[in-house]
Amino acid sequence: MKFCPKCGTMLMPVKEGDKTYLVCPRCGYKEALKEGDKYKLESRTSDERRVKTTSVVSSEGEKLRKSEELEQEKENYYEIFLDLMSEEEGEGA
């Protein structure tokens, strides 16, 4: 395993023609493999190895809260926090 000298990202083996190179996926640094070095090349397009992900960006019925509501909620949490802290100080004294 080798790392990119420019950005520190792990270099990935890539076969181009009959030669194999170690390439940085982040910055594009490229270095030819030395003779005797062996790396396992994997196909990145294999359906078996693909990971399927899903994400929910927003729900149709969900509405964004107004900034006033968020500020009020923050104030409520802060008051609860102060009450808890004063209770702890009272027990510790």
Enter the tokens of residue 57. Answer: 């960006």
Q: Which residue has the tokens 């009020």?
A: 72
Give me the domain span that covers residue 76: 65-93
Q: Per residue in 43-71, pLDDT tens?
A: 555 556 666 676 655 555 555 667 888 88
3: domain CATH number is 2.20.25
Find out whether 9 and 24 touch, Cβ atoms under 8 Å: yes
Helices (H), the chain: 67-92
Residue 6 placed within a domain: yes
In a domain, 81, yes or no: yes
The answer to whether residue 12 sits within a structural domain is yes
Q: Residue 18 falls within a domain, yes or no?
A: yes
Cβ atoms of 31 and 22 within 8 Å: the answer is yes
How many domains, in total, are found in the chain? 2
Q: What percent of the chain has pLDDT over 90?
A: 8
Query: Does any domain span residue 77?
Result: yes
Does residue 85 sit within a domain? yes
Model pLDDT for residues 31-47, shown as the tens digit of each residue: 988 777 666 655 555 55
Q: Where are the beta strands (DSSP E) in 1-93?
A: 12-16, 19-23, 30-32
